[in-house]
A and B are shown apart, each in its own frame.
Chain A
Amino acid sequence: NAGVTQTPKFRVLKTGQSMTLLCAQDMNHEYMYWYRQDPGMGLRLIHYSVGEGTTAKGEVPDGYNVSRLKKQNFLLGLESAAPSQTSVYFCASSFPSGGAKTDTQYFGPGTRLTVL
């Protein structure tokens, strides 16, 4: 299993440009998450999804949109990039807790985005 993968690994944008970050998981997880991490800071939740076709806002959703058209994929979009969105973006996935399962989150390797 590849686990959680993210595409691309690096990207440089100019202010105002748009882009989409792709997260894919092959663990059949119901839940998926997008976090951002700024230098010297912990991770902050942007958006999350509890199942195919559903999304919800996290702690810092402004300037981002997401879509979960397929269970294994979670897309993060920046419609008009700003320098404040320069960050490292991490995707994670988990099962919902219940029974013997925990909702331990498994993370991808990250996408390093710079907005000039």
Chain B
Amino acid sequence: DAKTTQPTSMDCAEGRAANLPCNHSTISGNEYVYWYRQIHSQGPQYIIHGLKNNETNEMASLIITEDRKSSTLILPHATLRDTAVYYCIVRVQYGGSQGNLIFGKGTKLSVKP
């Protein structure tokens, strides 16, 4: 699975959009970009994933560059409850050992009032 690079930490004002970047310059054609987050002391929570098109769900939007070497997770109106560590993971989409989620250190997002 391709390696990802994320900033260690970011701050965001409550109510504003939070834009979390991720670089994955060695991504291959069949690898998807997944985002998970982990709120303190809880299990990781799935947010969104995509292959090459931009994706949106009730939680967030995922913007993937045309060359697929980087992506941005957007939380449109951040709240204090969005304070968490956000993980960008690149992997082929199937289960079993190949489907192992390789978590890096992620980005610690702090949403401030």
Contact = CB atoms under 8 A, between A and B. Distances in A.
Most A CB atoms within 10 A — which of B41, B93, B99? B99
A44 B94 CA distance: 18
Interface stretch (B17-25, B43-51, B58-66, B67-75): B43-51
Contacts of B100: 33, 45, 48, 58-59
Nearest to A47: B97
Contacts, number: 71
A52 interface: no
B46 A106 contact: yes
A107 B97 contact: no
A58 B44 CA distance: 18
Interface residues of B, number: 22
Contacts of A92: 43-44, 101
Dominant secondary structure at the B interface: loop
A50 interface: yes
Nearest to A3: B43
Interface string A19-36: 000000000001101010
A96 B95 contact: yes
Given A103-B94, A107-B43, 18 more contacts: A4-B43, A31-B95, A31-B96, A40-B105, A42-B103, A42-B104, A42-B106, A58-B97, A94-B95, A95-B95, A96-B94, A96-B95, A97-B93, A98-B94, A104-B34, A104-B49, A108-B43, A110-B41
